């Protein structure tokens, strides 16, 4: 989250500040959703907003990823090796 805010100061960091019940409210005005393979990202993707799911090698996105035309999965064995530029470029296309 710190790296995202460093590169995109207008991003809102809500890590450790929300509950699952807050997700629906937060996605209402979101431009897009970017998150890793976790429950909050799945709940947020149900809003229909453009969603990028960051996926590591711990499970198979073909089986477990959320579905929809508005969802794109970016997979990297280790997410620390996923370039921010790749995520930004993907966001422009969904």
The secondary element (H helix, E strand) that includes residue 23 is helix 23-27
Residues 2-48 have pLDDT tens digits of: 888 888 888 888 888 888 888 888 888 889 999 888 888 888 998 99
Single out the residue of 18, 38, 36, 16 nearest to residue 26, CA to CA: 18
Q: Average of pLDDT values for 74-80?
A: 92
Measured on CA atoms in the order 38, 42, 44, 49, is the torsion positive or negative? Answer: positive
pLDDT of 94 strictly over 90: no
Token duo for residue 48? 């229909």
Q: Please state, for a pLDDT cut of 70, what percent of the chain lies above it.
A: 100
CB 29 within 8 A of CB 23: no
The model's pTM is 0.78
Give the CA diameter of the chain: 35
């Amino acid at each position: 989250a710190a790296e995202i805010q460093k590169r995109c100061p207008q991003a809102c960091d809500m890590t450790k500040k929300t509950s699952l019940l807050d997700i629906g409210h937060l996605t209402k005005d979101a431009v897009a959703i970017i998150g890793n393979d976790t429950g909050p990202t799945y709940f947020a993707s149900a809003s229909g907003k453009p969603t990028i799911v960051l996926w590591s090698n711990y499970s198979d996105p073909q089986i477990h990823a959320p579905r929809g035309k508005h969802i794109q999965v970016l997979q990297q064995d280790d997410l620390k090796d996923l370039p921010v530029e790749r995520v930004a470029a993907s966001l422009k296309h969904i």
